[in-house]
């Protein structure tokens, strides 16, 4: 099978001149993730209708855009109308800037204080979240734009209530420092009482910032769950991630938001079918060998834990020829062994659906996460960053192919 035939088997309509040889070679091992960038656009529109025209949307592109590629998602989200980006690390700032965007990029706390000026020079608005960060930006030679992050109870990073007043006052005195905004992140969005208390503390921080003389601040507290649950906590900007990827939220929140997943499917193909006569002893995936009493037919798909799935059972099921088939033993580095005893016609080349639809059957991301014992928010970026990306949907984006 040539790279071209492997490729056209996956995406028959694709013009192969605009993707790279490396991607084609990677897809000769037929395991891939299908991404629908139209869904991302629809989710931006859904977010816009939730927050209204005047609240800025800073789209969170941490974890290399949840594994989908920070540049690719940033580009699609900018077209759909976001107002800024949040990056989780300096290299993501570089990726986002590589799209040519002039929108603001907020860098969440991720460097040591000393490296804040260097991170700012990449084109980021950096986070001041500690006294040491304050000292570092005060000592910076160049003009530097910052967001101040306050801790209203998450206990991760951020200035505590007894610290922020002093820092806000101090930053006001430095001509080379421009404070663009103030943000925080709630600890327990499921609990309205705790969330209201933390939001109240954030309101206090905003009042303290205004009293210290910081005008026109961007005030941002609302990640996805907050946007969906607390319309009174939107302030003048929001910083959702999962809402826009349409992934990683509980099923009920997906429905409430009218969201569609960017990650629509994870698929592979059978590369081998094997008949095991009664009495065969097999230790599939290095598990303890078991004697197969009745005989078994197994199929191998080249997708393993390296691709973002799990190693130790439970391993869940896959769809082949529209039927659910259990995954056996332990999943190995790059392979899954599937019980196809009930599928006499199973053959090399058959599509194996790990996530998504086949015929009338479907394995949703929530089904898959439950079946293999991983939370959806961990599973989505694991799959997205591990597997080659194939773009599906109407307005197919062709320039984001990633090897
Ligand atoms: C991860 C993160 C977000 C986005 O969270 P979602 O639940 O994906 O919307 C927003 N703000 C901060 C500070 C974060 O760390």
pLDDT tens-digit profile, the chain (403 residues): 344 444 444 444 444 444 568 888 999 999 999 999 999 999 999 999 999 999 999 999 999 999 999 999 999 999 999 999 999 999 999 999 999 999 999 999 999 999 999 999 999 999 999 999 999 999 998 999 999 999 999 999 999 999 999 999 999 999 999 999 999 999 999 999 999 999 999 999 999 999 999 999 999 999 999 999 999 999 999 999 999 999 888 888 888 889 999 999 999 999 999 999 999 999 988 888 989 889 999 999 999 999 999 999 999 999 999 999 999 999 999 999 999 999 999 999 999 999 999 999 999 999 999 999 999 999 999 999 999 999 997 554 444 433 3
Q: Is the beta carbon of 317 within 6 A of some atom in ligand 1? A: no
Q: Do the beta carbons of residue 337 and residue 309 sit within 8 Å?
A: no
CATH 3.20.20.10 domain span(s) along the chain? 37-248
DSSP E strands, 155-295: 177-183, 218-222, 237-238, 263-269, 272-276, 280-282, 290-292
Q: Do the beta carbons of residue 291 and residue 283 sit within 8 Å?
A: no
Parallel, antiparallel or unpaired: strands 336-339 and 296-301: antiparallel
- The whole-angstrom separation of Cα 205 and Cα 168 is 9
Q: How far is CA 76 from the centre of its chain?
A: 14
224 CA closest ligand 1 atom index: 9
How far is ligand 1, taken at its centre, from the CA of residue 41, in Å?
19
Backbone angles phi, psi at 364, to 5 degrees: -80, 165
243 CA closest ligand 1 atom index: 9
240 CA closest ligand 1 atom index: 9
Sign of CA dihedral 131, 132, 133, 138: positive
Q: Which fold has domain 37-248?
A: TIM Barrel (3.20.20)
How far is ligand 1, taken at its centre, from the CA of residue 223, in Å?
5
How far is ligand 1, taken at its centre, from the CA of residue 222, in Å?
8
Closest to 32 measured CA to CA, from 247, 261, 262, 266? 266
Q: Is the beta carbon of 242 within 6 A of some atom in ligand 1? A: yes
Closest to 238 measured CA to CA, from 229, 246, 251? 229
How far is ligand 1, taken at its centre, from the CA of residue 319, in Å?
33
CATH 2.40.37.10 domain span(s) along the chain? 263-387
Q: Which fold has domain 263-387?
A: Lyase, Ornithine Decarboxylase; Chain A, domain 1 (2.40.37)
Taking CA atoms only, the protein residue closest to ligand 1 atom 14 is 185
Backbone angles phi, psi at 96, to 5 degrees: -65, -45
248 CA closest ligand 1 atom index: 8
Q: Which two tokens stand for residue 48?
A: 């816009």
């Amino acid at each position: 099978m040539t790279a071209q035939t492997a490729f056209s088997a996956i995406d028959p309509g694709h013009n192969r001149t605009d993707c790279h040889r490396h991607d084609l070679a990677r897809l000769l091992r037929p395991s891939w993730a299908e991404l629908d960038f139209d869904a991302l656009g629809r989710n931006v529109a859904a977010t816009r209708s939730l927050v209204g025209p005047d609240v800025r949307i800073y789209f969170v592109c941490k974890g290399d855009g949840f594994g989908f590629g920070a540049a690719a998602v940033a580009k699609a989200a900018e077209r759909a109308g976001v107002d800024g980006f949040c990056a989780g690390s300096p290299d993501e700032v570089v990726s986002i800037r590589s799209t040519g965007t002039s929108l603001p990029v907020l860098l969440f706390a991720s460097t040591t204080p000393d490296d804040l000026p260097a991170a700012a020079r990449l084109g980021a608005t950096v986070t001041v979240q500690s006294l040491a960060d304050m000292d570092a930006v005060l000592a910076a030679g160049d003009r530097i734009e910052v967001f101040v992050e306050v801790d209203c109870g998450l206990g991760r990073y951020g200035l505590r209530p007894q610290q922020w007043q002093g820092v806000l006052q101090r930053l006001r005195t430095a001509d080379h420092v421009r404070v663009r905004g103030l943000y925080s992140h709630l600890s327990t969005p499921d609990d309205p009482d705790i969330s209201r208390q933390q939001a109240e503390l954030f309101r206090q921080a905003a009042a303290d910032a205004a009293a210290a003389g910081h005008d026109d601040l961007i005030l941002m507290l609302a990640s996805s769950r907050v946007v969906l649950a607390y319309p009174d906590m939107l302030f003048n900007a929001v910083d959702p991630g999962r809402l826009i990827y349409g992934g990683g939220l509980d099923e009920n929140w997906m429905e409430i938001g009218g969201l569609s997943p960017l990650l629509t499917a994870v698929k592979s193909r059978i590369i081998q079918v094997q008949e095991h006569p009664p009495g065969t002893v097999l230790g599939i995936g290095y598990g303890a060998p078991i004697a197969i009493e009745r005989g078994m037919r197994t199929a191998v798909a080249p997708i393993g834990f390296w691709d973002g799935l799990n190693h130790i059972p439970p391993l869940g099921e896959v769809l082949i020829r529209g039927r659910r088939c259990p995954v056996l033993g332990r999943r190995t580095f790059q392979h899954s062994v599937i019980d196809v005893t009930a599928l006499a016609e199973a053959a090399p080349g058959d599509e194996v659906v790990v996530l998504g639809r086949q015929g009338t059957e479907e394995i949703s991301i929530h089904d898959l996460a439950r079946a293999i014992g991983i939370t959806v928010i961990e599973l989505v970026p694991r799959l997205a960053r591990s597997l080659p990306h194939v773009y599906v949907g109407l307005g197919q984006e062709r320039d984001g192919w990633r090897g």
